[in-house]
Structure 1
Amino acid sequence: MKRIARLLSIFASFSLLTVATAASAAEPPLKFGVGLFQPDREKNDATYRPLADYLSKKLNRPVELRTVDSWEGLAKSLANGETDLALMGPWGYVLANHQAGVQVISTILYDGKPEYFAITVTSPKSGINTLADLKGKTFAFGDKGSTSGYLIPLHHFMILGIDPEKYFSKVIHTSHQAIETQVTQGVLDAGADYNRNRNAMIEQGLIKAEDSKIIWTSAPLPNDAFAVSAALAGDKALIGKLQAALSETGEALKSNPKLLPPHYTGFVSRDNAFYKPIRDAGMATGKLQAK
């Protein structure tokens, strides 16, 4: 009888494990969207696929990576359900939160810090030393979903009483990498960027430090948000697992240094309040409307 009871116990445990495994396998993949941080999609995918694989393993659930070309597009994809999770710029997050209840759960750390800076760059040969020297010059913003490339410099120009369309001889919108490249080449007089991108491009040999000059730096801004769709935000168990997995990336980097791009050192749990400076700038510029 004892032997039969033991066999029944083993069979019951095996059945429960089989049911649990089947249930896990039946869960649909989580679609993980990232912005185009790198110069091209192929490199971007290669850079962020290790994080998608890591999360898949931690959550015991498939996580599919998808690169979205613009910050604005990423915000929309998270809002409309095309993606479930996203690593996105602060302004893109605030837009998605405001429009569709998307929720931040963690903020990425860069050299151990959860903040960065918007900058305005020019060439040392341009003769431009301050924002006042930009009148009548050509200027580049990032796409309209960019924090440092659009929202924050636009807000600062408004504070100074500058209307970009009237103040500059020409205004374009392009990628951060293109802004830095075209400014150093003298194709553009100046443009909006962020310190992390400029530093990375110098390190990678894409531009030379001596060909780039910073003429304005913002107050500290919250780093990129790891956010979830409104549909997932109510799943407290999943959110807890996600936050735990993200908080452990710092330790995981020791054995898997390619888990995050260079200088990214992990994540720290943050909520919507951390992004208030971005929300305030959005309201001040009229890009966000009070509900």
Structure 2
Amino acid sequence: MYHFIRLWRSLFCTALFSLATACSPGDQQPVKVNLTPTTPIATTPASKPAKPLRIGMGGIITPKEGYRYYQQLQGYLAQQLGQPVQLVDRANYEELNRLLQSGGIDAAFVCAGPYVEGKQQFDMQLIAMPLVNGKSVYHAYIIVHKDSPIQSLSQLKGKSFAFTDPKSNSGTLVPTYMLAQMKTTPERFFSRRIFTYGHDNSIKAVAERHVDGASVDSLIWDYTARKYPHLTANTRVIATSEPYGIPPVVVRPGIDPALKQRLQQALLTVHQNPEGKAILDGMLIDRFVPGDDRNYDSIRTMNRWLAGQADR
């Protein structure tokens, strides 16, 4: 999706004068030229270009504005792996999971909810988790406008509300779970619901009073509050969920084991490289650590509870 243009210039030298002009006309002798065909020089076929490693951009833990850091990480990984790396952005998490299942992409930054689903459905492979402020968990924040009189989720009854992606853990699943514990559903509880397909979009929707409330990823709200406080200044957090496993880095089933290991190693050591450390600092990530599937058991528990409620 992004192309880098490199311009090359060729320098041409002028033709050399014939050495014969250095001799006097009387000294010139006819030159015999052998026109017998010679054996052609064997040439080595050009090596086939390395196939790009395709990395999907799903559950990124910075706003879309922070996408430039993932581009920098793309260049870093290409250098470390010795092969091209291609970023693949998709509009929703479901499409990204389909690409991982079909082999359309090789790896991805995914949301925690789609990871749990992909692990169950087609054995999506967890290879790394980011640490943020020393933790590998995050929360859902329920937010309202700073001037809103609303102080709790229950007071949002009959109001408008923004979800992110239908598959998002913090942006959809968690608030649905919270409402189920209140013996209701989003359809019955809110007067109007929208999907913004971006936590930063949901923050903006609340800040500009397009909706009364929203559920957003705590990592993205905290990132925005630290780097661009004017964007969150018009919002207020009224509820914080329990901790859930942080959006991880995964690979598709069937990926070359050697490539999987090299990618994992590049991620786990990126903080040890000055260039890589600068990229992580921009993303507000401490470092990457090996993935632990048990980190996502709380999401599985929530899914089972919701499924049980639906069967009643």
Report the TM-score range of the alignment, normalised by the length of the smaller protein: 0.7 to 0.9
Q: CA deviation at 1:141?
A: 0.9
Q: CA deviation at 1:149?
A: 0.3
- Give the match for residue 128 of structure 2: 106
Structure 2 counterpart of 1:114, which letter? Answer: S
Question: Structure 2: how far apart are the matches of 1:143 and 1:95?
Answer: 14
Residues 36 and 69 of structure 1 are in contact (CA less than 8 Å); yes or no, is this contact kept in structure 2? Answer: no
- Give the match for residue 165 of structure 1: 187
Aligned partner (choices 252, 258, 280) of residue 229 of structure 1: 252
What CA deviation, in whole Å up to 9, does each residue of 1:247-284 have, x standing for no partner?
Answer: 10121256651356431122100132222222222333
Matched, 1:126 2:151: no
5+ residue gaps, structure 1, are 1-17
Larger CA deviation: 206-215 vs 167-176: 206-215
- Give the match for residue 281 of structure 1: 302
Helix, strand or coil: the match of 1:125?
Answer: coil
Structure 1 counterpart of 2:92, which letter? Answer: S
Residues 162 and 205 of structure 2 are in contact (CA less than 8 Å); yes or no, is this contact kept in structure 1? Answer: no
Q: CA deviation at 1:57?
A: 2.3
Residues 255 and 137 (structure 1), Cα distance of their counterparts in 2 relative to 1, 3 Å cut: closer
Residues 59 and 110 of structure 2 are in contact (CA less than 8 Å); yes or no, is this contact kept in structure 1? Answer: no
Question: Structure 2: how far apart are the matches of 1:209 and 1:177?
Answer: 10
Q: How does 1:24-39 map to 2 (within 5 A)?
A: 27-35=50-58, 37=60
5+ residue gaps, structure 2, are 1-43
- Give the match for residue 248 of structure 1: 269
Residues 271 and 280 of structure 2 are in contact (CA less than 8 Å); yes or no, is this contact kept in structure 1? Answer: no
- Give the match for residue 11 of structure 1: none
Question: Structure 1: how far apart are the matches of 2:66 and 2:281?
Answer: 11
Residues 140 and 173 of structure 1 are in contact (CA less than 8 Å); yes or no, is this contact kept in structure 2? Answer: yes
Matched, 1:272 2:293: yes
Matched, 1:80 2:102: yes
Residues 137 and 68 (structure 1), Cα distance of their counterparts in 2 relative to 1, 3 Å cut: same
Residues 36 and 68 of structure 1 are in contact (CA less than 8 Å); yes or no, is this contact kept in structure 2? Answer: no
What CA deviation, in whole Å up to 9, does each residue of 1:109-162 have, x standing for no partner?
Answer: 223321111110001322100111111111111111211101122112212212
Larger CA deviation: 133-142 vs 55-64: 55-64
Structure 2 counterpart of 1:223, which letter? Answer: I
Matched, 1:93 2:133: no
Helix, strand or coil: the match of 1:186?
Answer: coil
Question: Structure 1: how far apart are the matches of 2:299 and 2:208?
Answer: 31
Greater helix percent: which structure?
1
Structure 2 counterpart of 1:242, which letter? Answer: L
Structure 2 counterpart of 1:268, which letter? Answer: V
When the two structures are aligned, how many residues end up with a matched partner? Answer: 264
Residues 184 and 207 of structure 1 are in contact (CA less than 8 Å); yes or no, is this contact kept in structure 2? Answer: no
Residues 35 and 67 of structure 1 are in contact (CA less than 8 Å); yes or no, is this contact kept in structure 2? Answer: yes
Matched, 1:57 2:79: yes
- Identity rate, percent: 28
TM-score when scaled to structure 1? 0.81
Larger CA deviation: 177-186 vs 246-255: 246-255
Q: CA deviation at 1:107?
A: 0.6
